[in-house]
Amino acid sequence: MLAVLIVHFGEASVTAEAISSVLPQLPDDARLLLLDNASGTWTPPLADSRVELVASARNLGFAGGMNRLIDHALQDPAVDTVLLLNNDVRAGPGLVDALLALRTTRADADMVATRMLRADRPTQIDSLGITLYRSGLASNRKHPEERLLGPTGGCMLLSRRLLEDLDAQQGYWFDERFFCYAEDTDLVMRARWLGYGCAFAEDVYALHHGSLSSGGPDNEFVLYHGIRNSIWALVRNAPAVWLVVFSPWLLVAHAGIWARNLRKGRAGTLWRLYRDALRGLPAMWRDRRIIRRSRRIRARAWWSWVEPRLYERDFLRRAWQELWRRGRRSGP
């Protein structure tokens, strides 16, 4: 049985669209669990008996909110698959059937990713899952030939056996210290180390508005959590040899982050995120030992998961153009 999990925080009309897009696709015995993540007084539409509201008195973030929904879903022994959807995602036609078909027909489909398109520009790819680059930074996979690490949390199908295994081996699903951003990358890495694979549903799609609850994709909240959490995920999961070999590229990537964001006046945010990332490293290193002990495959598998590119295609060109335009606007 399938359980669809949605965390709501702000943007009530968008969450309602997400619910209405996926409900007609659900089998009669499926459930849709909706967490109201301390959003206020919004009352979601609950006319369908398959929809169940779970309320939280405080904002748990995506990681804590999804953990609560996963725990709630797995209490029903009939649930063997969960589909995580962002509240700003609209399911395209046939999405649920296609994801479930892969899950049931392929042995390596304990994780399933799919095509996510931009809601404002449906011809433009938003994500084809997660790609991890040799810079140590993970991002949205934009090209089919890039290596697929796993699905993004925006649309992520997971098997019950994977979730129970993560909990048994490591004690949790998403790391709630991450709050939001890169928690999906960390979960996928840990699942990979346990030997689970990822399939890709090519012929269906979901529409994604993109970071609505956090104020858009380019702001200081996203910068802080995205980079801090990416550092933590890498420290916990990457083999030591890989970290040493690729350390020059890691330094180049983070120097670029400083250069780009200093020009945007974000010195304070940069200081806080790197300070807090360093403060969290001892705890991440302790977790690293637990993750390493639970690994079922050799460390060399990591090399095949990493995309050889430094980062996203055209990123350097786009970043340079952005800095150039900003420099011209601030010039005499």
CB 83 within 8 Å of CB 2: yes
User: Which among 162, 172, 173 is positioned nearest to 195, based on CA atoms?
Assistant: 162
At residue 67, the pLDDT reads 97
Q: Which amino acid type is present at position 281?
A: L
Listing DSSP states for 133-179 in one string gives ETTS-EEE--STTS---B--TTEEEEEHHHHHHHHHHHS-SS-TTS-
In whole angstroms, give the CA distance from residue 23 to residue 86. Answer: 14
* Mean pLDDT, each 10-residue run in order, the chain (332 residues): 92 88 94 88 70 88 96 96 96 96 90 95 94 94 95 96 97 95 97 96 92 62 94 96 94 90 91 96 96 95 93 66 52 45
Q: At what angle do helices 61-74 and 160-170 cross, to 10 degrees?
A: 110
User: Which among 124, 143, 130 is positioned nearest to 208, based on CA atoms?
Assistant: 124
At residue 56, the pLDDT reads 86
At residue 13, the pLDDT reads 84
Please identify which residue in the block is written with the tokens 């990123």: 315
Please identify which residue in the block is written with the tokens 């959590």: 225
| Residues 157-186: b if buried by 16+ CB within 10 A, e if exposed | bbbbebbebbeebbeebbbbbbbbbbbbbb
Note the pTM of the prediction, 2 decimals: 0.91
User: Which among 80, 78, 71, 90 is positioned nearest to 33, based on CA atoms?
Assistant: 71
For the segment 165-196, what is each residue's pLDDT rounded down to a tens digit? 999 999 999 999 999 999 999 999 999 999 99
Domain ranges of the chain: 1-327
CB 3 within 8 Å of CB 157: no
What are residue 199's DSSP bridge partners?
112
DSSP, res 312: S
Say how many C-beta atoms besides its own lie within 10 A of residue 294's C-beta.
Answer: 15
The class (CATH top level) of 1-327 is: alpha beta
